[in-house]
Amino acid sequence: MDSAKLWARDNCNVQRLQHAAQSLGMERLLTVKAVPYALLALGVVTLFVKHFQDNQKRPFTWLNSRPRSPDPEKPTDVNTFAEKRMKPAERPPGVWVPTNFKRPKAPPYPNWSVKETKPLPYRPFRHGPYHITMGLRSMNWDEWIELDNHYMRYHEDKRRRIAERGSKCCLTNPDPRVWAGAVELLEELSGYLSERYPSMFQATEVGIDNLVTHESFNITDLTMNGQKEDPMQLCARLVQDDLAIMFEKEDGQYYLLAGAILLAGFWRLEDKYGMGMSEIHTSGDVPGFKAKLEKGMMNFFRRVKPEGPVLRNNYFMQVDDALSWSHSIGSEDARDGIGWYSAEKNRAIQHHYFRSERQSLRRLPKSGGVVFTIRTYFHPVTEIAEEPYVPGRLASAVRSWGDDVAKYKGREQYGDVLLEYLDSKHEEQVGNGLDLEKEEEVRAYPF
């Protein structure tokens, strides 16, 4: 600003004004009374011109001041998200000082109905090439938990799973910090759900009531309808998501110390419980973890703040119709021999299911635990292939998997049948007049 004032002083004076007027043939109009006003007007104009000239020398960052989510398919995403959006954590590893952050109040979901509101049509795949990324994007607080008219099916599946396998699927480490984090999550869910879905949930003095299932949750006593339960198990009964909380220890690693994993399909909480983040991914043979994901993921977990929640999506294929556990890869109780190699090869397309996960990640402000919510969407391939552009785009995505990704996702067991079917549906859509040039307008990622 000081440089602009000096520039105006040197350029906005009577002599320069008179010279400009003479050059324009207007010297007679420049009376004594008009001089102050003319000087003022010329000063404003010159300051604006000076500001414009200065800004020509640097990028117009003010035009893009609102932060935007990164492209989830960009290969550099996982390595840059934390660095661009989060300040480095200055606290010692394993230490968390509670913050006073409070989640913004959620407005009621417009016209939400447990019978009528359909699941959101997540289709988180793109035409090749395929990039191994964490695929993070910023989350609006209103989007934290998604419920729809599949709620009762998920609720019943969870109720049955808790009765049959509760202690294997819902676990909370007794460490005081971890236990407090699980209770904190229960409090957060109770507050959010009663705000976002008031036709189903009602806040009470001691917790929350589910008005549809007639379940009453007491957070203080950790009970549901008077029965004491693990806090993560209580959380699981409220939502359609699976839930996990990771806590940082003194070695800087994050460990899975609390979870309610009831509908995961391909993995068991009892196998991963207590593991550090790196071991969880390497034990599961996650493609590209060491080379492309580990460093960026560690940076993200270290830096994520309570006010900065994020989302990511992924997808899998399955060759049976079981939401909770994909029995085609082996028995859930088997100690060994679980994997795609045991699945029946090239089953009929009617047995192919599209399994999509929407995950949210946020840090709890009191305990410092990082919470995953893992919502699974589960549809027959024959159903989603009727949607415009989906069969062509999905076929391209599946073909673009590298060998390691293809092995991880089991393509060898179903690829021939799946791709033949998707190709035929794509040709059918094109033959019926599908405009390929409008695909990005119709189906923007991740839909």
Q: Half-sphere exposure of residue 91, counting CA atoms within 13 Å on the CB side?
A: 16
Torsion of CA 358, 363, 368, 374, to 10 degrees: -10
- Residue 410 vs residues 51, 269, 306, 339: alpha-carbon distances, Å: 59, 21, 36, 9
Kindly report whether the peptide bond that precedes residue 446 is cis, defined as omega within 30 degrees of 0. yes
Instruction: Supply the pLDDT for residue 130.
Output: 87
* Contacts of 324 by beta carbon, 8 Å cutoff, 6+ apart: 157, 161, 262, 263, 264, 265
The neighbour count for residue 260, using CB atoms within 10 Å, is 32
pLDDT at site 319: 97
Q: Burial level of 118, CB count in 10 A (0-12/13-18/19+)?
A: exposed
Domains in the chain: boundaries: 2-62, 67-442
Among candidate residues 265, 202, 262, the one with its CA nearest the CA of residue 230: 262
CA atoms within 13 A on the CB side of 320: 16
Q: Looking at residue 88, what is its pLDDT? A: 55
Looking at residue 79, its pLDDT comes to 47
Backbone phi, psi, residue 203, to 5°: -70, 145
pLDDT (tens, 9 = 90+) of the chain, 447 residues, equals: 444 444 444 444 444 444 444 444 444 434 444 444 444 554 544 544 444 444 443 332 222 322 333 333 444 344 455 455 555 557 899 999 999 999 999 999 999 999 999 999 999 999 999 888 878 999 999 999 999 999 999 999 999 999 999 999 999 999 999 999 999 999 999 999 999 999 999 999 999 999 999 999 999 999 999 999 999 999 999 999 999 999 999 999 999 999 999 999 999 999 999 999 888 888 888 887 777 777 878 888 888 999 999 999 999 999 999 999 999 999 999 988 789 988 999 999 999 999 999 999 999 999 999 999 999 999 999 999 999 999 999 999 999 999 999 999 999 999 999 999 999 999 999 999 999 999 999 999 999
User: Are the C-beta atoms of residues 304 and 86 closer than 8 Å to each other?
Assistant: yes
> Smallest Cα–Cα separation from 126: which of 443, 433, 359?
443
DSSP 8-class letter at 368: -
Best CA proximity match to 141, nearest among 111, 109, 103: 103
Residue 420: CB partners within 8 Å, gap ≥ 6? Answer: none
227 forms beta bridges with 224
| Pair type for strands 201-203 and 170-172 | unpaired
Question: Using CA atoms, how far apart are residues 213 and 229, in angstroms rounded to an integer?
Answer: 17
The tokens describing 231, both together, are: 């806090």
pLDDT at res. 212: 98
CA distance 50 to 3: 10
- Give, as one character, the DSSP assignment of residue 142: G
What phi-psi label fits residue 346: left (phi over 0), alpha (psi between -120 and 50 degrees) or beta? left
pLDDT value at position 375? 98
Alpha-carbon distance of 199 to 113, in angstroms, equals 8
Q: What is the pLDDT of residue 85?
A: 55
The pTM for the full model equals 0.80
- Which pair of tokens denotes residue 132? 């191994």
Q: Quick one: pLDDT at residue 86?
A: 53
Residue 41: the pLDDT is: 52
CA distance 339 to 326: 10
**Pairwise CA distance, residues 411 & 403, whole Å:** 9
